[in-house]
Chains A and B, each alone.
Chain A
Amino acid sequence: MNLYWLQSGGCSGDSMSLLTYEQNIFDFFEINKIELLWHASLSTISFTEHNNLLKKIEDDELELDILCVEGNVVTGPNGSGMFDSFMGKPKKDLIEMLAHKAKYVIAVGTCASFGGFGSHENEMGGIGLQFHHKDKGGFLGKDFKTKSGYPVINLPGCPIHPNSLTVLIEEIVSGIKVDLTGLNSIDEIYNYTVHQGCTRNEYHEYKVEENQFGERGCLFFHLGCKGPTTHSSCNKYLWNEVNSKTRAGVPCFGCARPDFPQEHPFFKTPSIVDTPIELPRGVDRAHYLAYKDMAAAAAPKRLKFRIQKV
């Protein structure tokens, strides 16, 4: 299969992340027989060859299997798209052309999936490929389907974990059905929360809270951690194979959520009566309050006094 990687309104962080894949990413492409037609940071073909390649795809002389888009679709200023241009034309035109030719379209990262940075203000006019935040539609419209019958497959995260892309490619190459969540993200990575597997879970369990930076404790109650409300694999498949932000002590910023980057301060948890306004997904508030109060009362000393090295 071939793959065309297109960068639009983004920071290249997803590409950089991919280079840290635990198996050598070049080996990965080779073993899975993925021919990388174009990646701006890595390809050596000349501009003339690149133009020819695009023309062949446009004229249906070359069938495009996988299109990966990194970054959001830029529509500003005033709908013109000229804040992100390609060959003197808005890059959104190129995205539209390629999306209609590809068998699979993958939105790599939160910006491509949901809009991300520059999607909350009007200036840049960033939108996701098929979502604008949590709402279906986005750039390609809610009814858009690729030649394979799938909608745009979302791989949110800022950046993506390399595993989310590699597992999706492996599913596609193997021809098995790709299961999607309600946000068209892949089930394999996004149907559980960042909280799952965090080494600070026991602190959360007994509501032993971190009140200032650098303590041992749960970051959810005061320091803005969105682990329990964010769907991603950070604590199942570790970052750079060794760690995660929440394990180290950096709160989860909800970077895989459709509303990222959210409006309220990242390092503060919005609360009512010392309980976060937004509770872990699917939890009943009254029961949660009762449970947490009892749990806090039952907290063992080794946690309360932070004797543990975790």
Chain B
Amino acid sequence: MAKKTIELQIPLNRVEGDLDIKIKVEDGVITQAQSVGTLYRGFENILKGRDPLDALVMTPRVCGICSISHLSAAVKALESAYGITPPAQAVRFRNLSILCENLQSDLKQVFLMFMADFASDYYKDSSFYEEAKEFYEPFKGSLSRSLLNSTKDVLKIIAYIGGQWPHTSHMVPGGLNVLADDLEIFRIRFLIVKFKQWLEKEVIKTDLKRFSEIDSIDKFEKFIDENPKSHISIFYKIAKETNLFEIGKTGYGFMNFGSIDLPNGETLIKKSFYKNSLEKLDITKIDEDVTYSWYDKSVDDLFEAQTIPNMDKDDGYSFTKAPRYKKEAAQTGALGEELALGDKLFIELYEKYGDCVFVRELARMVRPIRYINFMESEIEEIIKHKDDPVYEKPTYTKDCMGIGLTHAARGALGHWLKIEDNKIANYQIISPTTWNGSPKDGNGNLGAWEKALIGLKIKDIDNPMEMGHVIRSFDPCLVCTVHFIGSDKKIRLHS
């Protein structure tokens, strides 16, 4: 019997930025998937020839969603180039800035973008539909609304430190260019505690300490039974009913560029690659493949690599490059952080269920708990050292190179910077979504969510909800993949 083969063009919303997916569906199952972005902004080329410090103003504008992450990567690239260690107190304020951005981003992604699906008509016959509608319906859901109030309060913390969110530039080589007085510092502490209380009362429905102590699937399931109103439990129930434990798997390892800076230059969550076990990251083993990208081949060395768009390439189907680690495809994000941290619950979940949609999204849902706990101790350190300097004037070098690595909400973010004669000679950015949403490479390895889509069953081809769940579980941010470009496409995840 002939197979029923369909190729479609589908715009899917609630991802950040422009994304197209071409898929081939045979007898209701995805057999081919290609990830295609549709916007090219040429940021890396705009930076060339500019004053090195301009990276602090320009790279945050790569992405309005994670602008602090880009600022942080840029300042680290500059400090690495100039050989500067910023004062400990500056590092603390930087940590708070980036954690605020990440934690509100996590919550917005989980509830406004991911969970909103379960409140759509598509699920009107499901047991969870009424509950999902009550909490997650766009613009109306009670949690969507209260979340908006809480996340904007968290962002005030960045404004108290750096003036505004999004798009500020309060981190400079040598520390910070801002001063927070006592009132600001105490207001920050107040807002952290207030947010923690909201998280406990409205989202997790128990005190965070209790949840943080869960270190096995048994205890996790016990928590689900005992706290049916927790949004973690609601998600668990939805995931069971919608098969989220089975779909979205890649088997790919996880890139971590290091999260939460420590004053000694190390990071709390190590720079690492996790696949079955934790490996130390060898940064020199990262390169970008452009076999299927709409770019001319450049060199592997990221300090020298160029971004040269070429729309006439026959094999090209995407204008994101394909970053690879030791020539392997990889993924990145909240789950990778938990695994690198050695979190017992997530290691057990990952070993039992793999990198399925449920485990990947759950990691993002609970990460704010870990963040807020750290932020609470960090602000106490800030108060203790409140008269310490936050800036030491550095010496700039005329010709140098540096790498800035950080962990944005969506995962591993790196800036590679080369300075010649006090000007930016080259700038390359590898953003989290270039790992997760990369095209195929020359060795035939699919990008992470391309891989995750293969074999996925699609019920309604006019509304491929399952595909949305899989891709959204990666928290795509296409505006960050600064060298995306358009092409003809079959399926479109659009923003």
Contacts and interface: CB of A to CB of B under 8 A. Distances in A.
Contact of A241 (B46, B156, B162): B156
* Interface range for B: 35 or more
Contacts of A141: none
Interface string A96-121: 00000000000000000000011011
A158 to B, nearest CB: 6
B149 interface: yes
A24 B18 CA distance: 26
Interface string B25-65: 00000000000001111110110001101101110011111
A17 B46 contact: no
B485 interface: yes
B93 to A, nearest CB: 11
B163 A213 contact: no
Given A214-B179, A246-B163, A47 B64 contact: no
A31 interface: no
Interface in B94-152: 108, 112-113, 116-117, 119-120, 122, 138-140, 144-145, 148-149, 151-152
B74 to A, nearest CB: 12
A15 B64 contact: yes
Contact of A42 (B112, B163, B181): B112
Contact of A26 (B10, B63, B139): B139
Interface in A42-57: 42-48, 50-51
B41 A124 contact: yes
A252 to B, nearest CB: 10
Nearest to B9: A87
Interface string B248-282: 00000000000000000000000000000000000
Contacts of B155: 20, 240
B405 interface: no
Interface in B455-495: 462-463, 479, 485-489, 492, 494-495
B83 interface: no
B162 A44 contact: no
Interface stretch (A78-86, A146-154, A180-188, A283-291): A78-86
A234 B156 CA distance: 15
Interface in A224-278: 234, 238-250, 253, 255, 261, 265-268
Given A12-B65, A47-B11, A243-B159, A30 B41 contact: no
Interface string A125-158: 0100000000000000000000000000000001
Interface residues of A, number: 79
B64 A46 contact: no
Interface in A26-48: 26-27, 29-30, 36, 40-48
A48 B163 contact: no
Contacts of A121: 42, 45-46
A87 B18 CA distance: 11
A15 B138 CA distance: 15
A140 B488 CA distance: 25
B486 A82 contact: yes
Interface stretch (A3-11, A169-177, A201-209): A3-11
Given A13-B67, A84-B486, A118-B46, A239 B165 contact: yes
B13 A250 contact: no
B335 interface: no
Contacts of B479: 10-12
B167 A158 contact: yes
A44 B111 CA distance: 12
A114 to B, nearest CB: 14
Given A245-B162, A267-B51, A44 B13 contact: yes
B178 interface: yes
B311 interface: yes
Nearest to A216: B179
Given A9-B41, A44-B119, A86-B38, A249 B139 contact: no
Contacts of A294: none
Given A214-B175, A214-B179, A244 B64 contact: no
Given A44-B13, A46-B463, A16 B166 contact: yes
A83 B155 CA distance: 32
A244 B167 CA distance: 11
Contacts of A19: 108, 148, 151-152
A21 interface: yes
A14 B139 contact: no
Contacts of B151: 19-20
Nearest to B159: A240
Contacts of A266: 51, 53-54, 56-57, 169
B322 interface: no
Contact of A40 (B14, B120, B181, B311): B14
B492 A87 contact: yes
Contact of B43 (A82, A117, A214, A242): A117
B42 A118 contact: yes
B149 A24 contact: yes
A74 interface: yes
A41 B108 CA distance: 10
Interface string A158-199: 110000000000000000000000000000000000000000
Contact of B181 (A17, A30, A76, A309): A309
Contact of B63 (A11, A82, A239): A11
Contacts of A12: 16-17, 63-65, 479, 495
Interface string B170-193: 101011111111000001000000
B14 A44 contact: yes
Given A47-B12, A124-B42, A243-B159, A11 B61 contact: yes
27 contacts: A7-B17, A11-B63, A13-B167, A19-B108, A26-B145, A43-B13, A43-B14, A85-B38, A85-B489, A87-B492, A90-B486, A91-B38, A213-B393, A214-B177, A234-B164, A240-B156, A242-B156, A243-B160, A245-B164, A248-B170, A249-B163, A250-B162, A250-B168, A250-B178, A261-B57, A261-B58, A267-B57
Given A43-B14, A117-B46, A249-B179, 7 more contacts: A11-B67, A12-B64, A16-B64, A88-B488, A123-B45, A212-B393, A243-B160
Interface of B: 9-14, 16-18, 38-43, 45-46, 50-51, 53-54, 56-58, 61-65, 67, 108, 112-113, 116-117, 119-120, 122, 138-140, 144-145, 148-149, 151-152, 155-156, 158-170, 172, 174-181, 187, 309, 311, 389-391, 393, 462-463, 479, 485-489, 492, 494-495
10 tightest Cβ-Cβ pairs between the two chains A and B: A13-B64, A85-B486, A239-B164, A40-B495, A245-B163, A265-B51, A248-B163, A240-B159, A213-B177, A214-B391
